[in-house]
Structure 1
Amino acid sequence: MRAVLCKALTGPDDLVVEQVDDPVAGAGQLLIDVKAAGLNFPDILITQGKYQFKPELPFTPGGEGAGVVAAVGDGVDGVAVGDRVIFNHLTGAFAEKIAVPATTCVPFPDAMPFDVAAGLTITYGTSYHALKDRAALQAGETVLVLGAAGGVGLAAVELAKAMGARVIAAASTDEKLAVCTAHGADETVNYTTTDLKAALKELTGGRGVDVVYDPVGGDFTEVAVRGMAPGGRLLVIGFAAGDIPKIPINLCLLKQCALVGVFWGAWATANPQGQRANMQDLFAMFTDGRIKPLVDDVHGLDDVRAAYAALTGRRAKGKVILTP
């Protein structure tokens, strides 16, 4: 089969596509014909050796995808060859086939296209876990989403709106903000042309926002904390800007707010039943039209570098997908 290979921890520009042996479904595993795979920010870090998980070289990157079951390993019940499933795994998705533990796979609705399904688990799984389980978001609260046009950001916009919140989307261009508005944002802030602190004060009548969803980091994190309401929660999702912010801890005292870490992967592994329940909620939201995941770019395996460039250049709006 054909697969993307990372042979050195020098980043996405040095990835290659080669023929490798087909994987085999071992005990407790499914062999899946991959129809689509989603790119995520951690995929960049893994190829640079900067992520918490460091696979042995060479390896095939890619942590999520969707496909058709090609073989069922010993000890797996309730799954048959031909079933359509979403899977998540730390590596291996950017290939024509993958063997993964059956526990990481979930059947998905027939009405959901493969490219949409491939990008649902991590972005929507992360955002739903963050808003539902970590922030305990309540209807009527106000949510600020930073980096709102990216994969997890746009998912957060849609989900917060579906959960009854007022959503303020912040992004770097008016074009990106138009996408956010189309996906449910009530208000928008272009933080390259507008003072974010002043905008939050005006949009909330001086009260501040209840929840900040922050997958960006960098300079805007502290600004967002200063724009929070009493009892607010800052959701620490990631650091797409490249800089891990250093927040003056006295702000938590003065703002009566909480900094809440969100590590969806660790939580999903430790709480498979909770993760499956969340996925069923997401499927229901998709089926009744409350969420409409946006696939921005679709690339073949040979275009893997261009696909990564859409993420590293922060040009993507919604999900970037590879189709083996």
Structure 2
Amino acid sequence: MKAVIFEEHGPVSNLKVADLPRPEPAQGQALVRVRAVALNGFDPMILARIPGINTPLPMIPGGDIAGEVVAYGPDSAIAGIPIGTRVLVDPLVGNTGVFGETVRGGACEFVAVPAINLVPLPDVVSFEDAAALPIAYGTAYRMIRERGKIAAGEKVLVLGATGGVGVCSVQLAKLAGAEVAAATSSAAKAEQLRAIGVDHVINTSEADFVKATQALWGKPRVFDEGGGADVVVNFVGGDDWPRALRCVRRGGRVLTCGATNGYDPKTDIRFIWSFEISIVGSNCWSRGDLVDLLDLVAQGRLKPQISSVRPLEELPVSLQELIDRKVFGKVVLRVA
């Protein structure tokens, strides 16, 4: 079968198209004919090598997989999911890890996956839209809906708003009826944020997001709940972590599911107790989160934002765009 692989960690030039044996599903597994696979922010990091993560080589990137069931291993068929069913694959592989990170991913024609990871697709959801969902949209769904419980009328600031998690956070907050401000350093991406319904765009190349947020919603006061954002979505971390605390109203909350710019910033914890700020962590997604997302897409209430759809062979181009921060939303590869 055709696959995109890398045999050594390093630059994008290490990626190549190879011909590998078609996998045979073992007991407990299903064989999926891949139709679409999406990349995520961790794909460039896995290629470069993340210390402490055991990545099997040669490695196939791509954690978000959609396709069709073509076979089952011995005694592994799942009731209600016959051969030929269109499916999404939950990227979490038991205690082993995640496809594309610690388990070979889906940038190939066929992949053997745990049969229990199969999620049937509604007929109206395309393979490309389905593949855009699991890792980024699943992470955002759990953070915004399940952990953060963002509600109608709340004022929400989203930092790092133009990647997969950020865009979905914006979309779900708007779907909940919130007033949303979103930060980006790109004028072009600012227009794309407006196009998906953001109420206030903060271009951080021109304005300080703390001052801009306080100009919008007032300066938080220790004994007054009127000023500031109700919720700050901050999976950026780094130097923006302590600064973002200055945007949260008394009794407000900060939601985080990562730290793309650094995980150990210096924090003045006086802001946390003085303003009674709740810090809410969120990690990964549940199977139910993926089902809920598919339902939202099937109902037409949510449209995954896809930056590009390319043939599998052009995966290096899409990966380089991720590295160069040229992506708004998700990048998807179509497998013929």
TM-score, structure 1 length as denominator? 0.91
Shift of 1:170: 0.9
Matched, 1:212 2:249: no
* Greater Rg by CA: 2
Contact 1:183 1:292 in 2 (8 A): no
Change (3 A) 1:50 1:254: farther
Q: Deviations along 1:248-268, whole A, 9 cap, x unmatched?
A: 33332233213333221xxx4
Q: Report the alpha carbon displacement of residue 53 of structure 1 after superposing the two structures with TM.
A: 3.9
Percent identical across equivalent pairs?
A: 37
Check conservation: 1:168, 1:188, Cα contact below 8 A: yes
Correspondence for 2:246 = 226
| Aligned equivalents of 2:313, 2:56: Cα separation in 1 | 23
Q: For structure 1, which runs of at least 5 residues remain unmatched after alignment?
A: 269-274
User: Per-residue deviation at 1:52?
Assistant: 6.0
Q: Measure, in 2, the Cα distance between the counterparts of 1:243 and 1:306.
A: 29
Matches within 5 A, 1:115-194: 115-194=128-207
2:268 aligned to 232, 245, 248, which one?
248
CA distance in 1 between counterparts of 2:263 and 2:327 reads: 20
Aligned to 1:300: 311
Instruction: Return the alpha-carbon distance in structure 1 between the equivalents of residues 268 and 21 of structure 2.
Output: 52
Specify which of 280, 285, 304 is matched with residue 296 of structure 2. 285
Contact 1:218–1:243 (8 Å) recurs in 2: yes
The Cα shift of 1:98 comes to 0.6
Counterpart secondary structure, 2:42: helix
Give the C-alpha shift of residue 113 in structure 1.
1.4
What is the DSSP-based 3-state SS (H/G/I as helix, E as strand, rest coil) of the residue aligned with 1:18? strand
Q: 1:287 to 1:301 in 2, by over 3 A?
A: closer
Distance 1:292 1:278 in 2: 16
Conserved? CA contact 1:27–1:76, under 8 Å: no
Letter in 1 for 2:9: L
Distance (whole Å) between structure 2 residues aligned to residue 119 and residue 258 of structure 1: 30
How many residues matched? 315
Residue pair 1:45, 1:51 contacting (<8 A) in 2 also = no
Comparing 178-187 with 243-252, greater Cα deviation is found at 243-252
SS of 1:21 mapped into structure 2? coil
**Per-residue CA shift, 1:262-285, capped at 9, x if unaligned?**
221xxx4xxxxxx23222322232
In structure 2, the residue corresponding to 1:238 is in which secondary structure? coil
Spell out structure 1 runs of 4+ moving beyond 4 A: none
The reply on whether 1:20 has 2:33 as its aligned counterpart is no
CA distance in 1, matches of 2:172, 2:51: 27
- What displacement does 1:51 show? 6.7
Unaligned runs of 5+ residues in structure 2 are 92-97, 220-226
Q: Which amino acid aligns with 2:54?
A: K
| The 10-residue stretch of structure 1 (81-90 or 230-239) with the greater mean CA deviation from structure 2 | 230-239
Give the distance between the partners of 1:15 and 1:175, measured in 2 at CA: 29
Give the TM-score normalised by structure 2.
0.88
